Amino acid sequence: MQRVYSIMINDRSAKKIDFSLTSISRLFLLIVITVLNYGCALFVPAVFLYQLIKFLNFSYFTHIFLFCISLAITYLILVFSMMISSALFIRVFRVRYKEGDYGSTIKDKIAVKFILSYALYFPTYKLLDFLSLSPLKVLFLKMIGCKIGKNVVLGGDEWIFDPYVIEIGDNTTIGGRSLVTAHVGEGHLIIKKIKIGNNCLIGGDCFIMPGAIIEDNVVLGAKSLVLKDQILEKGKFYAGIPAKEIKTIEKAN
């Protein structure tokens, strides 16, 4: 126990990035892959807009209107292009990670995967969030490896961290501004799987921490906190900080 505690303290005090060859080369690799990803994503909409502009004469109001329409179309092309590019880069460079206990410096391979994963995942996810189209967000999560069921609704402005170690069942709704995170930093990086069952309703502004298990048919009240490794039992209503059982769904009905 003393040895584990010592490792945690050392990792917390260690520099996340130093001037060693390993750190510099990995930082360079992170930047290059991220730039390539978004460069590829921007290429298709940029070509579309460039080719269209060549045929437009901005001295005509109709052409200005067509340009405005083309900007909207270009944005939609960008959305799908980023979805495809980010999902492809995540799979090709194998940045998906599993649950476990890891170091938090750039010299740790999982930490590098963790950083690169967020660089490839979050800008695209937040661009989709701007459209407030839940089906597109669900599709993107599936594309990058999240186990997510049918008829899932994501309320908007939610944060789904660590999609590779999160499971969401069928007919589940996650309210707006909720945060579901399977990682926590406690001197080192701890990643634990989160499982949300079928037919669950997660209220807005909820915070679900690593290792949590929410069984089928659970209702979680708004602004509730589900602690690490906490289990919310099937068919019950929970609320509060931390989340506590209020009543069973059957009694509520």
> Residues 202-225: pLDDT tens digits?
999 999 999 999 999 999 999 999
Q: How far apart are CA 72 and CA 155, in angstroms?
A: 24
pLDDT at 122: 93
Helix count (H) and strand count (E) of the chain?
A: 6, 18
Residue 67 lies in a domain: yes
Which residues lie across from 248 on neighbouring strands?
236
**What's the CATH code of the domain at 249?**
2.160.10.10
pLDDT at 12: 59
Helix (H) or strand (E) holding 9: helix 2-13
Residue 188 lies in a domain: yes
Which residues lie across from 147 on neighbouring strands?
167
Residue 194 lies in a domain: yes
pLDDT at 2: 37
Measured from the Cβ of residue 56, the count of other Cβ atoms closer than 10 Å reads 14
Whether residues 103 and 189 share a domain: the answer is no
pLDDT at 229: 96
Ranges under pLDDT 70 in the chain:
1-18, 248-253
Residue 4 lies in a domain: no
Annotate 159-186 with DSSP letters as a single string.
Answer: EE--GGGEEE-TT-EE-TT-EE-SEEES
Whether residues 119 and 38 share a domain: the answer is yes
Q: Give the number of domains in the chain.
A: 2
Whether residues 173 and 253 share a domain: the answer is yes
Whether residues 159 and 253 share a domain: the answer is yes
Q: How far apart are CA 215 and CA 150, in angstroms?
A: 16
pLDDT at 5: 41
pLDDT at 7: 43
Which of the 8 DSSP states describes residue 105?
S
pLDDT at 11: 55
153: containing domain:
146-253
pLDDT at 8: 45
